[in-house]
Amino acid sequence: MWVKRKRGWEIPERESTPEAVFHNRRALLKAMGAMAAAGGAGALAAAAPAFADADPSAGLYPAKRDPKYTLDRLVTPQKLSTTYNNFYEFTTNKDVYEYSDALKIRPWTISIDGMVEKPFTLGIDDLLKKVMLEERLYRHRCVETWSMAVPWTGFPLKTLVDMAKPLSGAKYIKMVTFMDPKMASGQRAFFYPWPYIEGMTMFEANNDLAFLVTGMYGKPVPKQDGAPLRLALPWKYGFKSIKSIVKFSFTDRQPVSFWTALQSNEYGFWANVNPAVPHPRWSQATERELGEDTRRPTLIWNGYGEYVATMYDGIKGEQLFR
Ligand code: MTE
Protein backbone atom coordinates (compact mmCIF):
# COMPACT_ATOMS: atom_id res chain seq x y z
CA MET A 1 0.00 0.00 0.00
CA TRP A 2 1.30 3.47 -0.90
CA VAL A 3 1.38 5.74 2.13
CA LYS A 4 1.97 9.44 1.62
CA ARG A 5 4.96 10.32 3.77
CA LYS A 6 5.23 13.97 4.75
CA ARG A 7 8.70 15.25 4.07
CA GLY A 8 10.26 18.47 5.31
CA TRP A 9 9.28 20.56 2.32
CA GLU A 10 5.64 19.50 2.61
CA ILE A 11 5.12 20.84 6.13
CA PRO A 12 4.05 24.42 6.69
CA GLU A 13 6.49 26.29 8.90
CA ARG A 14 4.05 26.65 11.80
CA GLU A 15 3.84 22.84 11.96
CA SER A 16 7.52 22.19 11.36
CA THR A 17 8.91 24.56 14.01
CA PRO A 18 9.84 22.59 17.11
CA GLU A 19 8.30 24.12 20.24
CA ALA A 20 11.67 24.41 21.95
CA VAL A 21 13.07 26.50 19.13
CA PHE A 22 10.02 28.72 19.23
CA HIS A 23 10.29 29.35 22.98
CA ASN A 24 14.05 29.96 22.83
CA ARG A 25 13.43 32.49 20.12
CA ARG A 26 10.93 34.37 22.25
CA ALA A 27 13.27 34.51 25.21
CA LEU A 28 16.13 35.58 23.02
CA LEU A 29 14.17 38.27 21.35
CA LYS A 30 13.11 39.79 24.63
CA ALA A 31 16.76 40.08 25.59
CA MET A 32 17.71 41.52 22.25
CA GLY A 33 14.82 43.90 21.66
CA ALA A 34 16.76 47.06 22.35
CA MET A 35 19.67 45.97 20.21
CA ALA A 36 17.46 45.22 17.22
CA ALA A 37 15.80 48.60 17.51
CA ALA A 38 19.18 50.21 16.91
CA GLY A 39 19.23 48.53 13.49
CA GLY A 40 22.98 48.81 12.98
CA ALA A 41 24.99 45.83 11.78
CA GLY A 42 27.52 46.22 14.60
CA ALA A 43 24.89 46.23 17.36
CA LEU A 44 23.10 43.24 15.87
CA ALA A 45 26.30 41.26 15.44
CA ALA A 46 27.17 41.52 19.12
CA ALA A 47 25.28 38.47 20.44
CA ALA A 48 25.38 36.30 17.33
CA PRO A 49 26.96 32.90 16.71
CA ALA A 50 30.37 32.54 15.09
CA PHE A 51 30.92 33.88 11.61
CA ALA A 52 33.55 32.77 9.13
CA ASP A 53 36.35 34.76 10.79
CA ALA A 54 39.04 33.00 8.78
CA ASP A 55 37.36 34.05 5.55
CA PRO A 56 40.02 35.84 3.44
CA SER A 57 37.42 38.38 2.32
CA ALA A 58 36.64 39.51 5.88
CA GLY A 59 38.48 42.82 5.36
CA LEU A 60 35.95 43.90 2.72
CA TYR A 61 33.20 44.30 5.32
CA PRO A 62 31.23 46.24 6.37
CA ALA A 63 30.31 47.89 3.09
CA LYS A 64 28.46 51.17 2.74
CA ARG A 65 24.70 50.85 3.04
CA ASP A 66 22.58 51.83 0.02
CA PRO A 67 19.92 54.10 1.59
CA LYS A 68 17.48 53.39 -1.25
CA TYR A 69 16.41 50.09 0.31
CA THR A 70 14.49 50.66 3.52
CA LEU A 71 12.41 48.40 5.74
CA ASP A 72 8.94 48.68 7.25
CA ARG A 73 10.07 46.57 10.23
CA LEU A 74 13.06 45.99 12.48
CA VAL A 75 16.10 44.13 11.22
CA THR A 76 15.94 40.52 12.45
CA PRO A 77 18.54 39.84 15.15
CA GLN A 78 21.48 38.02 13.60
CA LYS A 79 21.22 35.25 16.16
CA LEU A 80 17.79 34.36 14.77
CA SER A 81 18.44 34.64 11.04
CA THR A 82 21.61 32.55 11.30
CA THR A 83 20.17 29.77 13.46
CA TYR A 84 16.86 29.19 11.65
CA ASN A 85 17.70 28.28 8.07
CA ASN A 86 16.82 26.15 5.08
CA PHE A 87 19.79 24.44 3.46
CA TYR A 88 18.73 20.93 2.51
CA GLU A 89 22.25 19.98 1.46
CA PHE A 90 23.01 19.73 5.19
CA THR A 91 19.73 18.97 6.94
CA THR A 92 15.99 19.31 6.45
CA ASN A 93 15.76 20.82 9.95
CA LYS A 94 16.26 24.50 10.71
CA ASP A 95 19.41 24.06 12.81
CA VAL A 96 21.61 24.08 9.73
CA TYR A 97 24.37 25.93 11.60
CA GLU A 98 25.04 22.74 13.56
CA TYR A 99 26.07 20.94 10.33
CA SER A 100 27.17 23.58 7.83
CA ASP A 101 30.73 23.91 9.16
CA ALA A 102 31.48 21.04 6.78
CA LEU A 103 31.02 23.41 3.83
CA LYS A 104 34.45 24.20 2.41
CA ILE A 105 34.31 27.73 1.00
CA ARG A 106 37.89 28.11 -0.33
CA PRO A 107 38.94 27.49 -3.04
CA TRP A 108 35.56 28.36 -4.58
CA THR A 109 35.29 28.49 -8.34
CA ILE A 110 32.35 29.93 -10.22
CA SER A 111 31.63 28.94 -13.85
CA ILE A 112 29.87 31.18 -16.34
CA ASP A 113 28.79 29.24 -19.40
CA GLY A 114 26.10 28.56 -22.00
CA MET A 115 24.97 31.36 -24.31
CA VAL A 116 27.77 33.82 -23.57
CA GLU A 117 30.50 35.33 -25.79
CA LYS A 118 33.14 33.21 -24.08
CA PRO A 119 32.61 30.84 -21.13
CA PHE A 120 34.97 31.38 -18.20
CA THR A 121 35.59 30.50 -14.59
CA LEU A 122 36.78 32.68 -11.76
CA GLY A 123 37.50 32.28 -8.07
CA ILE A 124 35.28 33.99 -5.50
CA ASP A 125 38.12 36.27 -4.34
CA ASP A 126 38.82 37.38 -7.93
CA LEU A 127 35.13 38.09 -8.37
CA LEU A 128 35.11 40.14 -5.16
CA LYS A 129 37.97 42.26 -6.54
CA LYS A 130 35.91 43.13 -9.63
CA VAL A 131 32.73 44.28 -7.93
CA MET A 132 31.66 47.14 -5.67
CA LEU A 133 30.09 45.77 -2.49
CA GLU A 134 27.17 47.53 -0.85
CA GLU A 135 24.80 46.75 2.01
CA ARG A 136 21.04 46.52 1.45
CA LEU A 137 18.22 45.99 3.93
CA TYR A 138 15.84 43.45 2.39
CA ARG A 139 12.79 41.53 3.53
CA HIS A 140 12.98 37.77 2.95
CA ARG A 141 9.77 35.69 2.84
CA CYS A 142 9.91 31.90 2.87
CA VAL A 143 7.15 29.92 1.17
CA GLU A 144 6.71 28.20 4.57
CA THR A 145 5.36 31.59 5.82
CA TRP A 146 8.22 32.68 8.08
CA SER A 147 10.06 35.86 7.21
CA MET A 148 12.97 38.00 8.25
CA ALA A 149 14.61 41.33 7.46
CA VAL A 150 18.32 41.21 6.75
CA PRO A 151 21.25 43.53 6.04
CA TRP A 152 22.78 41.67 3.09
CA THR A 153 26.06 42.76 1.55
CA GLY A 154 26.77 42.02 -2.07
CA PHE A 155 26.42 43.45 -5.56
CA PRO A 156 23.69 43.62 -8.22
CA LEU A 157 23.27 40.44 -10.26
CA LYS A 158 23.32 42.61 -13.36
CA THR A 159 27.02 43.33 -12.70
CA LEU A 160 27.71 39.62 -13.18
CA VAL A 161 25.40 39.49 -16.23
CA ASP A 162 27.44 42.30 -17.81
CA MET A 163 30.70 40.46 -17.05
CA ALA A 164 29.28 37.31 -18.68
CA LYS A 165 28.47 39.08 -21.98
CA PRO A 166 25.38 36.98 -22.81
CA LEU A 167 24.40 36.36 -26.43
CA SER A 168 21.20 38.01 -27.63
CA GLY A 169 19.34 34.66 -27.65
CA ALA A 170 19.88 34.08 -23.91
CA LYS A 171 16.54 34.40 -22.13
CA TYR A 172 17.19 32.76 -18.76
CA ILE A 173 19.93 32.19 -16.22
CA LYS A 174 20.17 28.79 -14.60
CA MET A 175 22.08 28.79 -11.30
CA VAL A 176 23.52 25.71 -9.64
CA THR A 177 24.71 24.97 -6.08
CA PHE A 178 27.82 22.84 -5.40
CA MET A 179 27.44 19.04 -5.57
CA ASP A 180 29.51 17.12 -3.02
CA PRO A 181 27.68 14.37 -1.11
CA LYS A 182 30.83 13.61 0.91
CA MET A 183 30.83 17.13 2.29
CA ALA A 184 27.07 17.70 2.43
CA SER A 185 25.30 14.69 3.89
CA GLY A 186 21.87 15.86 2.72
CA GLN A 187 23.00 15.29 -0.85
CA ARG A 188 23.19 11.57 -0.11
CA ALA A 189 19.37 11.50 0.10
CA PHE A 190 18.59 9.96 -3.28
CA PHE A 191 14.96 11.16 -3.54
CA TYR A 192 16.02 14.79 -3.97
CA PRO A 193 16.98 15.99 -7.46
CA TRP A 194 20.47 17.26 -6.54
CA PRO A 195 22.17 19.59 -7.18
CA TYR A 196 19.97 22.51 -6.11
CA ILE A 197 19.05 24.51 -9.20
CA GLU A 198 17.21 27.77 -9.63
CA GLY A 199 16.43 30.00 -12.56
CA MET A 200 15.16 33.39 -13.58
CA THR A 201 14.60 35.39 -16.74
CA MET A 202 17.27 37.75 -18.04
CA PHE A 203 14.76 40.53 -17.50
CA GLU A 204 14.50 39.63 -13.81
CA ALA A 205 18.26 39.22 -13.49
CA ASN A 206 18.75 42.76 -14.75
CA ASN A 207 16.23 44.20 -12.28
CA ASP A 208 17.81 46.52 -9.68
CA LEU A 209 16.60 44.35 -6.80
CA ALA A 210 18.25 41.09 -7.94
CA PHE A 211 21.25 40.92 -5.61
CA LEU A 212 24.18 38.52 -5.26
CA VAL A 213 25.01 38.17 -1.60
CA THR A 214 28.51 37.68 -0.19
CA GLY A 215 27.97 39.16 3.27
CA MET A 216 25.45 39.62 6.06
CA TYR A 217 25.39 41.92 9.10
CA GLY A 218 28.61 43.55 8.00
CA LYS A 219 30.65 40.32 7.69
CA PRO A 220 31.15 37.53 5.15
CA VAL A 221 27.92 35.55 4.80
CA PRO A 222 27.94 32.56 7.17
CA LYS A 223 27.93 29.06 5.76
CA GLN A 224 24.39 28.25 6.87
CA ASP A 225 23.14 31.26 4.90
CA GLY A 226 24.83 30.23 1.66
CA ALA A 227 28.51 31.18 1.72
CA PRO A 228 30.37 32.30 -0.21
CA LEU A 229 27.86 33.45 -2.86
CA ARG A 230 24.06 33.32 -2.80
CA LEU A 231 21.18 35.11 -4.40
CA ALA A 232 18.57 37.43 -2.83
CA LEU A 233 15.37 37.98 -4.83
CA PRO A 234 13.24 39.68 -2.18
CA TRP A 235 9.99 39.81 -4.18
CA LYS A 236 9.95 36.01 -4.63
CA TYR A 237 9.56 33.18 -2.16
CA GLY A 238 12.84 32.35 -0.48
CA PHE A 239 13.43 29.08 -2.31
CA LYS A 240 14.33 31.11 -5.43
CA SER A 241 17.28 32.61 -3.49
CA ILE A 242 19.75 29.81 -4.19
CA LYS A 243 22.75 29.37 -1.87
CA SER A 244 26.43 28.53 -2.40
CA ILE A 245 26.33 29.03 -6.16
CA VAL A 246 29.03 27.48 -8.38
CA LYS A 247 27.53 27.98 -11.84
CA PHE A 248 25.60 30.52 -13.89
CA SER A 249 24.45 29.14 -17.25
CA PHE A 250 22.83 31.43 -19.80
CA THR A 251 20.18 29.63 -21.82
CA ASP A 252 17.13 30.00 -24.06
CA ARG A 253 15.23 27.31 -22.09
CA GLN A 254 13.33 27.88 -18.88
CA PRO A 255 15.36 26.10 -16.17
CA VAL A 256 13.65 23.43 -14.06
CA SER A 257 14.42 24.17 -10.44
CA PHE A 258 15.10 21.74 -7.61
CA TRP A 259 11.67 22.33 -6.05
CA THR A 260 9.81 22.22 -9.35
CA ALA A 261 11.48 18.91 -10.20
CA LEU A 262 10.39 17.61 -6.80
CA GLN A 263 6.82 18.93 -6.63
CA SER A 264 5.82 20.91 -9.72
CA ASN A 265 2.19 21.43 -8.65
CA GLU A 266 3.40 23.29 -5.55
CA TYR A 267 6.59 25.08 -6.57
CA GLY A 268 6.69 26.82 -9.91
CA PHE A 269 9.18 28.85 -11.90
CA TRP A 270 7.94 32.35 -11.00
CA ALA A 271 7.12 32.05 -7.28
CA ASN A 272 6.36 35.74 -6.76
CA VAL A 273 4.97 36.54 -3.30
CA ASN A 274 1.20 37.07 -3.26
CA PRO A 275 -0.95 36.85 -0.11
CA ALA A 276 -4.06 36.17 -2.22
CA VAL A 277 -2.70 33.01 -3.84
CA PRO A 278 -2.43 30.18 -1.33
CA HIS A 279 0.10 27.42 -1.51
CA PRO A 280 -1.90 24.27 -2.34
CA ARG A 281 -1.65 23.16 1.30
CA TRP A 282 -1.63 26.42 3.30
CA SER A 283 -2.52 30.09 3.15
CA GLN A 284 0.02 32.75 2.20
CA ALA A 285 -2.11 35.60 3.60
CA THR A 286 0.07 36.17 6.68
CA GLU A 287 3.61 35.55 7.83
CA ARG A 288 5.55 35.27 11.06
CA GLU A 289 8.66 37.37 11.30
CA LEU A 290 11.40 35.38 13.09
CA GLY A 291 11.25 36.33 16.75
CA GLU A 292 7.73 37.78 16.66
CA ASP A 293 4.76 36.17 18.40
CA THR A 294 2.01 37.55 16.21
CA ARG A 295 1.58 37.14 12.49
CA ARG A 296 1.50 40.10 10.12
CA PRO A 297 -0.21 40.44 6.71
CA THR A 298 1.98 39.43 3.79
CA LEU A 299 2.52 42.11 1.15
CA ILE A 300 2.05 41.47 -2.55
CA TRP A 301 5.46 41.16 -4.25
CA ASN A 302 6.68 41.10 -0.62
CA GLY A 303 6.29 44.89 -0.72
CA TYR A 304 8.55 45.40 -3.76
CA GLY A 305 5.84 46.03 -6.39
CA GLU A 306 7.22 49.44 -7.37
CA TYR A 307 10.42 47.75 -8.57
CA VAL A 308 9.08 44.57 -10.12
CA ALA A 309 5.35 44.47 -10.89
CA THR A 310 5.56 45.85 -14.42
CA MET A 311 8.06 43.15 -15.45
CA TYR A 312 5.16 40.68 -15.54
CA ASP A 313 2.62 42.84 -17.43
CA GLY A 314 2.86 40.96 -20.70
CA ILE A 315 2.90 37.44 -19.27
CA LYS A 316 -0.40 35.67 -19.82
CA GLY A 317 -1.66 32.23 -18.84
CA GLU A 318 1.13 31.43 -16.36
CA GLN A 319 1.01 30.89 -12.62
CA LEU A 320 3.08 33.88 -11.51
CA PHE A 321 2.53 33.38 -7.76
CA ARG A 322 3.51 29.80 -7.04
N1 MTE B 1 19.68 26.97 -1.60
C2 MTE B 1 20.19 25.75 -1.51
N3 MTE B 1 21.29 25.44 -2.22
N4 MTE B 1 19.63 24.77 -0.73
C5 MTE B 1 18.49 25.02 -0.02
O6 MTE B 1 17.98 24.12 0.68
N7 MTE B 1 16.74 26.64 0.55
C8 MTE B 1 15.98 27.78 0.02
C9 MTE B 1 16.89 28.97 -0.26
N10 MTE B 1 18.09 28.58 -0.97
C11 MTE B 1 17.91 26.33 -0.11
C12 MTE B 1 18.56 27.30 -0.90
C13 MTE B 1 14.89 28.19 0.89
S14 MTE B 1 13.54 27.17 0.92
C15 MTE B 1 14.91 29.36 1.57
S16 MTE B 1 13.55 29.93 2.43
C17 MTE B 1 16.13 30.17 1.66
O18 MTE B 1 17.22 29.58 0.97
C19 MTE B 1 16.50 30.31 3.12
O20 MTE B 1 17.57 31.20 3.29
P21 MTE B 1 18.12 31.46 4.75
O22 MTE B 1 18.34 30.13 5.39
O23 MTE B 1 19.37 32.24 4.60
O24 MTE B 1 17.05 32.23 5.46
* Domain limits, the chain: 14-310
Distance between Cα 95 and ligand 1 center (Å): 13
* Ligand 1 site-directed mutation target among 21, 87, 143, most atoms within 8 Å of CB: 87
Contact 164, 116 (CB under 8 A): yes
Instruction: Tell me what pLDDT residue 220 has.
Output: 98
pLDDT, one tens digit for every residue, the chain (322 residues) = 233 344 444 444 444 333 333 334 444 444 444 334 334 444 444 445 555 447 899 999 999 999 999 999 999 999 999 999 999 999 999 999 999 999 999 999 999 999 999 999 999 999 999 999 999 999 999 999 999 999 999 999 999 999 999 999 999 999 999 999 999 999 999 999 999 999 999 999 999 999 999 999 999 999 999 999 999 999 999 999 999 999 999 999 999 999 999 999 999 999 999 999 999 999 999 999 999 999 999 999 999 999 999 999 999 999 999 9
Closest residue CA from atom 12 of ligand 1: 242
**Number of other CB atoms surrounding residue 319 within 10 Å:** 12
Distance between Cα 239 and ligand 1 center (Å): 5
Any idea what DSSP says for residue 166?
B
The CB of 241 under 6 Å from ligand 1? The reply is yes
Closest residue CA from atom 19 of ligand 1: 86
**Number of other CB atoms surrounding residue 211 within 10 Å:** 26
Contact 290, 80 (CB under 8 A): yes
Q: Which residues pair with 137 in a beta bridge?
A: 151
The residues near 236 (Cβ < 8 Å, ≥ 6 apart) are: 270, 271, 272, 273, 302
Instruction: Tell me what pLDDT residue 288 has.
Output: 98
pTM (two decimals): 0.87
Instruction: Tell me what pLDDT residue 55 has.
Output: 87
The CB of 91 under 6 Å from ligand 1? The reply is no
Instruction: Tell me what pLDDT residue 51 has.
Output: 53
Using a 10 angstrom Cβ sphere, with 0-12 exposed, 13-18 middle and 19 or more buried, the burial of residue 313 is exposed
Q: How far apart are CA 177 and CA 154, in angstroms?
A: 18
Q: Which fold has domain 14-310?
A: Sulfite Oxidase; Chain A, domain 2 (3.90.420)
Contact 133, 117 (CB under 8 A): no
User: What residue type is assigned to position 143 of the chain?
Assistant: V
SS3 202: helix
Distance between Cα 231 and ligand 1 center (Å): 10
Instruction: Tell me what pLDDT residue 169 has.
Output: 98
Q: How far apart are CA 238 and CA 159, in angstroms?
A: 22
The CB of 244 under 6 Å from ligand 1? The reply is yes
The CB of 243 under 6 Å from ligand 1? The reply is yes
Instruction: Tell me what pLDDT residue 145 has.
Output: 98
The CB of 267 under 6 Å from ligand 1? The reply is no
| CA distance readout (Å), 267 to 130, 156, 161, 285 | 35, 25, 26, 17
Distance between Cα 275 and ligand 1 center (Å): 20
